[in-house]
Structure 1
Amino acid sequence: MTRADVAVVGSGPNGLAAAVTMARAGLSVHVHEQAATVGGGLRGEALFDSEIWHDVCAAVHPMAAASAFFREFDLAARGVALLQPPITYAHPLDGDAAAFAYHDLDRTCDRLGPDGYRWRQLMAPLVRHSAGVTDFLLSGQRSLPHDFAVPLLLGPRLLGHYLGVNGLRTEAARALLTGVAAHAMGRLPSLPAGAIALLLGHLAHAAGWPLPQGGSVRIAKALADDLRAHGGMVHTGHRVTDLAELDAPVIMLDTTPRGLLALAGDRLPPRYRRALDRFHYGPGAAKADLLVSEPIPWACPEVGRAGTVHLGGIRAAMLAAENAAARGEAGEEPFVLVVDPAVTDPGRAVGGRRPVWAYAHVPNGDIRDPVPLITRRIERYAPGFADTVIAARGVPAAEYQTYNPNYPGGDIGAGAVTLTQSVFRPVPAWNPYRTPLPGVYLCSASTPPGPSVHGMCGHLAARAALRREFNMPTAPHLGPKDGTIVAERPRRTS
């Protein structure tokens, strides 16, 4: 292989964010991806119909609109339209009842009736400080916040969520917030799940929960195009099995700790290896991709205007289902997330046919076919849905790591989101990205700030490597207007 300043293993959003950051600093960067195409969780396929595109993993991207990395990278200026759904998310209840989070906070509060005032108290201050809240929670928690009001806002709200959903009293409002907390894919209630609920919950009324027009792959393409524009190279279709294959003084690994162990072998110190072995993986996601003949026939028609739909029933039912999955118990009524992309992006529907994207939260390594499980859950709130299904493909949690090795047992978060692992990912360290091997860094969602398509794990890891390895304390410009590369390449300092 041609020698480079930096080799990146894995081309998920964090691997690409690390590569873009390094290339923007004037370094030669080579990305190595075992799949035929780049993107990791951003990839898509035409599974059943050449005209219908399915997002194989991620579909909705609040962090692509909100994170510091993507705010500066500016997807919109690169032709990636982030489309806002008519309703940010919905939570059906039994019968034709449902709760709704609109982009408009006032409308949301009006629909929540007696809990509207409490929802406003919970969310409005976070919306006013949205950039500060997002940057603090996606910072890795190793620096002072830019907005010092943020910890004061988050502290009592996190405690209130952990103790009792911040005073919400109606089943609709309690379900609306608990459904967002369930994105943590772990035990409920918990402080990390509360942080996710507050982050995603307030973003529903701020930057929103958009879908990229044309599918998630558009984000991956924008990142890869920028990398190539700044001299980077992408090698696909080859799995790197040993660090010795990489001819670069600095290596960025968009892998889990298991991936690092497999690549480094006995070169890692025994104590560090044992710490990586103790890294805990969370419950799994079981995915169903469906091709349907019409919009989902929700019992409450307004649910059909939501970009994301949470199926979990009332708060007590969600707590029971998520805690059972965390204990490894396979239930018949799991928490399910559903997206009909054509609701937000009508071009995703062709000739009446449209894709439906759905995840079920199940125990890690669950082997069940998720299609009947998910279909039954949708049918409960949308009678007749099964009759609209033209074709379906299920990926059990146990098989998801075949698609992406960063999803062991179906853990799409690349590591359990526990209190300890929310900060100490993958091991307790001031610089969690640096490994004991000279020049080798982890940059995956197994590092802070953890899962989601925000690019911050890769960007922060690249910043750490630039400071230590190339004596570059200042982050490179990421915006699209400056297409230049620095005239003189940085030199390694160690």
Structure 2
Amino acid sequence: MTDPVGGATPDAAIVGTGPNGLSAAVTLARAGLRVVLYEKEETIGGGLRTESLFDSDVAHDVCSAVHPMAAASAFFRRFDLPARGVRLLQPDIPYAHPLSRGRAAAAWRSLETTAERLGVDGTRWTKLMAPLADRSRGVVDLLLSGQRSLPPDPVAALRLAPRVLAHATARGGRFATEEAEALLAGVAAHAVGRMPSLTSAAVAMLLGHTAHSTGWPLPEGGSARIAEAMAADIAAHGGVFRTGHRVRDLAELGGVPIVLLDVGPREFLALAGRRLPARYRRALERFRYGPGAAKADFLVSAPIPWRNPLVGRAGTVHLGGTRDDVVRQENATAAGHPAGAPFVLVVDPAVTDPSRAAGGRRPVWAYAHVPNGDTRDPVELVRRRIEEYAPGFTDTIVASRGIPAADYETYNPNYTGGDIGAGAMTLRQSVARPTVRWNPYTTPLRGVYLCSAATPPGPSVHGMCGHLAALAALRRHHGLRTPPDLSPADTRSRSDA
């Protein structure tokens, strides 16, 4: 195979330009490899796309909107988005959780303020989060690793383990007030699966503590700014993009020595055909998918009129009621049963990034957790849920769009049945992801690697699946054991070298 732009056979091909495809390409290109990336859409980015859906002056994030891991993961720390002009804007309140009768709980950037506002539960919240926040880098690097090596920070591991175990059971780690209970449950629900569990507890500790350390930022201008910065670095180091090109068979990439696939197990099975050994195929076919996400986008004429004004200062809002309500909803959803009013995540980006509002209009971003393959239009589900805590929201709606969970894989084949995590985050599938294999990025096909969120460490915009897969390929094919420099200081293009 030859690249139609440069005329030479590329050293590596990457299928899919989501965050992990892009991070893989950055890593390989920085190591000196000539990389070509294939994207079925006309624009790159996968979950990092920003579009004007209703008003040309108002930008909506199509998938992800808030990026805790873009400020925390090892890949992005080394890549250094702020140094590349991507402003990561931090809300004073990373997340809030409204309750009935106008009550609400909030996690502030300041752990001290959070504890003060939680009253009798303040000391307990501090004891839970402060030791993790003090070793935040170690906690993040442990949970966002390939899960195959010793902890990089043993102290962080020792602090994390008992907290995860304590919050993995129905009776463990309880607080005295509904406010504190709900605040932690809303973060745990980001696991999108059974609650409580070891996975939901780990997610709660990861996201919960980062609110008080590296924060939950929004990129100024929208999520696409992250993808654009990564694409610029790839191009500066010789990488080539082929958009509007869906690779349907690995045979199309014949002759390329390294192929990294930012795709899920089902898509890999389709690409590989009968090339895969029967045992490995069966293992991929057994891979389980989690509940779905149904997306609702609104164009509104005013900020969301939350009954409790404190909620209006939060970057992210969790709507699910009490802890028991959240647990009941998430367990029913994981079991495939609609749970009435779903758990909903809401973001009004202009709260943190005023540039997102124009002409008196602003975007509202929301996801509802629903059963995998759910066909319901989420607009009404989400509208009613927001209205419950923000009376009058309906009157501000100018336009809306809903994407049912069942339709999400049309947008992105990795989102099977609306599973934006690319696979259920069960304990087994957190480690054996997508199969039981010492190096989870390798496949039985020589030179072919998986680098999607279906590999460790799993979902979120952290870039680590792609980065770790690329490092595995560099070790195996080029004997490179030292990760390449990813810092903005190394800006020379291949032609300048």
TM-score (norm 1): 0.98
Query: Partner of 1:174 in structure 2?
Result: 181
* Equivalent in the alignment of 1:227: 234
Q: Within 5 A, what are the aligned runs for 1:278-289?
A: 278-289=286-297
Looking at structure 1, the residues matched to 315 and 150 of structure 2 have their Cα atoms a distance apart, in angstroms, of 34
In structure 2, C-alpha distance between the alignment counterparts of 1:141 and 1:119, rounded to whole Å: 28
Which amino acid counterpart does residue 402 of structure 2 have in structure 1? Answer: G
SS of residue matched to 1:286: strand
Asked whether the equivalents of residues 79 and 486 of structure 2 are also in contact (C-alpha less than 8 Å), the reply is yes
Deviation beyond 6 Å, 4+ runs, structure 1: none
Distance 1:167 1:129 in 2: 23
The separation in 2 between residues aligned to 1:45 and 1:146, in whole angstroms, is 39
Equivalent position of 1:214 in the other structure? 221
2:155 is aligned to 149
431, 435, 441: which one pairs with 1:427?
435
Corresponding residue for residue 94 of structure 1: 100
The separation in 2 between residues aligned to 1:146 and 1:187, in whole angstroms, is: 29
**Alignment counterpart, residue 25 of structure 2, candidates 11, 19, 26:** 19
Q: Distance in 1 between matches of 2:438 and 2:71?
A: 28
8 Å contact 2:138–2:157 — kept in the other structure?
A: no
Partner residue in 2 for 1:492: none
SS for the counterpart of 1:64 is coil
Corresponding residue number in structure 2 for 1:294: 302
* More off after superposition, 189-198 vs 164-173: 164-173
The aligned amino acid for 2:425 is V
- 1:67 aligns with 73
Which of 126, 130, 142 is matched with 1:124 structurally?
130
Match for residue 190 of structure 1 among 186, 197, 208? 197
For residue 375 of structure 1, the aligned residue among 383, 404, 419 is 383
Please give the alpha-carbon distance, in whole angstroms, between the structure 2 residues aligned to 1:57 and 1:411.
12
Corresponding residue SS for 1:391: strand
**Deviation by residue 1:80-115 (Cα, 9 ceiling, x = unmatched):** 000001211100000110000000000000000000
Residues 25 and 485 in structure 1, CA contact (< 8 A), matched pair in contact too:
no
Residue 140 of structure 1: how far off its partner (Å):
1.7
**Aligned pairs for 1:68-467 within 5 A:** 68-163=74-169, 164-247=171-254, 248-467=256-475
Q: 1-side partners of 2:494 and 2:48: how far apart?
A: 29
Counterpart AA for 1:184: A
CA distance in 1, matches of 2:66, 2:438: 32
The separation in 2 between residues aligned to 1:332 and 1:377, in whole angstroms, is: 10
Q: Deviations over 1:166-217 (max 9, x none)?
A: 2422110010001000000000000011000000000000000000000000
- In the alignment, the residues of structure 1 paired with residue 214 and residue 158 of structure 2 have an alpha-carbon distance, to the nearest angstrom, of 22
Rounded to whole Å, the distance in 2 between the matches of 1:426 and 1:383 is 44
Per-residue CA distance 1:24-47 (angstroms, 9 max, x = gap): 000000000000000000012100
Residue type matched to 1:183 in 2? H
Distance 1:140 1:357 in 2: 31
Give distance in 2, aligned partners of 1:312 and 1:64. 26
In structure 1, the partner of 2:6 is none
Specify the code of the residue in structure 1 equivalent to 2:245.
Answer: H
Deviation per CA, 1:310-361, whole angstroms, max 9, x where unpaired? 0000001001100011010012211000000000000100111000000000
- CA RMSD between the two structures: 1.3
Give the Cα–Cα distance (whole angstroms) in 2 for the partners of residues 146 and 456 of structure 1. 15
After superposition, the C-alpha distances for 1:216-252 in whole angstroms (9 at most, x for unaligned) are 0000000000000000001000110000111411100
Q: Deviations over 1:95-149 (max 9, x none)?
A: 1100000000000000000000000000000000000000000012111122111
Which has the higher mean CA deviation after the structures are superposed, 210-219 or 139-148? Answer: 139-148
SS at match of 1:201: helix
> 2 CA distance for matches of 1:416 and 1:277?
14
CA distance in 2, matches of 1:116, 1:325: 31
Match of 1:9 among 6, 10, 15: 15
Aligned residues: 489
**Partners of 2:448 and 2:172 in 1: how far apart?**
42
8 Å CA contact retained: 1:52, 1:348 = yes
Q: Secondary structure at the match of 1:50?
A: coil
Amino acid at match of 2:142: F
Corresponding residue for 2:489? Answer: 481
Residue of structure 2 in register with 1:30 after alignment = 36
Cα distance, 1:63 vs. partner? 0.1
- What is the CA deviation profile of residues 360-407 of structure 1, one whole-angstrom value per residue up to 9, with x for unaligned ones? 000000000000000000000001111110000000000001111110
Q: Which residue of 2 aligns with 1:55?
A: 61
Deviation (angstroms), 1:485 = 6.5
Superposed displacement of residue 474, structure 1: 1.0
TM-score normalised over the length of structure 2: 0.97
Contact 1:53 1:355 in 2 (8 A): yes
8 Å CA contact 2:91–2:314 kept in 1: the answer is: yes
- 2:399 counterpart letter in structure 1: A
Contact 2:236-2:493 at 8 Å conserved across structures: no
Distance 2:272 2:102 in 1: 55
**In structure 2, distance between residues paired with 1:340 and 1:414:** 25
State whether residues 237 and 494 of structure 2, in contact with CA within 8 Å, keep that contact through their aligned partners in structure 1. no
